[in-house]
Structure 1
């Protein structure tokens, strides 16, 4: 660009010099006559020189006129010497002003179009004061146009004889540049502020570009992710299906794909994500990079599992309750006729022993059906206001006896009125079953803590934990320091007849009964447990006000 403008300066300089030489030639023709032959030769030579100068002048003027830039040449005093039509068109200066070489009027016509006329005029004066200086700047118009302004000294040999101004209209280029800048800003804002993770990935799997949300999902810093491939952070069991989709996309067999998969987080845990991938290709059709959109669906997966568990427990409860109900109906005549037979058999006879065995077995079966009915939510309940603290205080000696002397047992009871609408016998059974479960989990001794409190379940709590309804609840905690459970066992502990105990040492109904009692009281139960750490059972029962308690006379 700079060489281009030096050429223009040289052309305009030569044009001005040729005009001066032409003027000198014309003035010399009127000089003194010293001889007719010599005069003829001189006139001929001058004519040839004039024609050559005129031709050269025509070429130079044509060159200046053909340029896409506006050109203005002034002398050392700033007087207009040469200009092209493009300059006049760009500045919309009336032709009569330019033809008259009226410098003040031309400058006034220019200044009235500018956003910063004072700055423009100061720059002109500065360059006229320093004729050897070259300059470049940008000129902005009130109508939105933008010109680039170049200025260089005009030289004749070593002498500076004026200044060449060149103006280029860059309005459209600036508009395109600004549109591109805004587009890039919008892309950057969309990319960085997206509520989902977004990544650009090379065909070999290495990350090219990642947004902050993706970093948050997988727990890596941006520069750490850019050193990795998606293969490195994909859960091993999910990698094969992902790579097969990538292969088909690279072969153009599919245009995009979506899948649920797991990423390995930096802390070693995994996170469930919904992945949507498309492929950007070059103009020649070659794979350039993948665009991956990553949505964290861990909460969704957790809710799915909880719903599945709830549906499973509901189905098991209906089945168990139905079987227990029918079985109880069958036991009624067995027990009834057994008692009649007992009355007819002579006391002390060998048949009396058989009858007692029948009746004892039938009573045990009846207890079993009662437990199954409780789990299935079909057991008749006697609901009344119950102060949970009082109920636990009355049970303290019983619970201590169940745990035995090797267990440390403590209770932290809330100072508030922890009143619930419940069947006292059922609540006692639920607490006792939890205590027995804790005892069996601590064969070498340990500690059991029972705690009560009042908590409010709000939308944030429900979203975080995946259960509950808004409102105030009595909170009952049973926490032990036993052997704990892994995820597989935790998922089944409330199922009836599921037990990890040896054959004959447990029916597998203890925690199932607790689950059924809590559900019958419109409550919620959760468990947190890790192998070697212990288990924490949390029960939430709807709180009733003191006024409701007093109305019932409790």
Structure 2
């Protein structure tokens, strides 16, 4: 039986302690809460830090401040999760505390968030402990790995996520004819250069590692050609230490001759030779993707109501409704035997719901297509459910951001009416009401935004015309520069909506830097990634990037999941909610694009709106 979670709570208000106990109990958190009041009691309790699982600390106490409490905890109990629970801590101060080692923070006005934060902190602590244990046994594992590498009949190459070679065996060297001196620097680039004259596609090795760097938990495979009609079957899988993926393990085997298109079609569905005829009789159409070539039985187009059979990957994608293409892309990127539903266009221009299967093999992709019924109704109900859930989330966030300022403003006005208020009470009430009004105005503007009236525009010209507006929004202490990419294809956008979205991002950048610092606008072009069987496909359309970059403190990892929540802000005024990122994301989605955040460890934030380029 699991023991209760042991929490050390530093707090000077007994009523708040009872409220926290009741909140955790109502959320079914089994815990023992040890309450200490004051600096001496806190120091005494931390003499035995292993008695506790979590530290919960009020930021403002009479004889010890939150900064000192955090410093003591990190010195005496560095592995214990540390959570601030306070009624008065602004987002700017909270971010600074997170930088100095705090795990998270919760406002006393938002106690329902306490239980999830405690649970997540405990889980992260358990993961950190497991990671340390894995690192402690690394030397023993390395010795076992070397023995296993040399005993296998496969060629093995282990590469980290940066493209450096971690390990290899002699079978790999002999299979590919690589001398020891080529491997000595332990760099994959050097191996690829040496193999450039031998492999039909030597860069495939390097491409495999680079493409999987951001999707390191996925498995992949392919076939590499060697001189003399020799082929090597390559497979790639994640290399893990504990829960963490640290690289890739690539294995190589001598491959048999490639299957013919007819053999590939027979293999769809488990290798049964009679599958194709039986599938077509059941109105299931198999297909195979080899490189860019699509193979489909002659009877397939007639069963699906197509004008002609797709000949390549672009033709296959063109069958799908634009809103459903992403399901196909995700299926190609995932592991074996993936299914999804999508709308497909018939020769008469109508859309019909179909069920697709995708299976990754060494020679490429195999799958099937079958018309289905009732799917439109189910998908519409699911879309309606998600929309209602999103509306509830936005309404809840709006209530949290406006209810507090309104209640404080009413209290200040009551004090004025009673004659007991200080002279500054009127200014305070006015500021609070302005905060609530500004939040409601942002929500009104976002809700009133129509579908974009898009028109083809030159991205660089559009950004040049937006630049004066950006400089006004940024203010005199935040110089704004623009770096055009030049020779960009046009994009379809609504100028008014996109200016509003970019303006919100400029204001976010200004607030992130405290009103002082440079803001850079830029445009770039993102090309489709070349497709190779067994590797992960990239985007299938060229996209144009509109970027807003600042040199602020960046967004800590603990907050990156929340920054797209409606009204969430990391600005200095904790009472003011923000819709900048939310509005930019919704505008990008309405234009058929997406929003990306880049928060490098050295600081700064780049927000990118990706829009599909027009042909």
**Fold match by TM threshold 0.5:** no
TM-score, L = length of structure 1: 0.36
**Which gives a bigger RCO, structure 1 or 2 (Cα 8 Å, sep 6+)?**
2
TM-score, L = length of structure 2: 0.33
Q: Of the two, which has the highest radius of gyration?
A: 1
Is the helix fraction higher in 1 or 2?
1
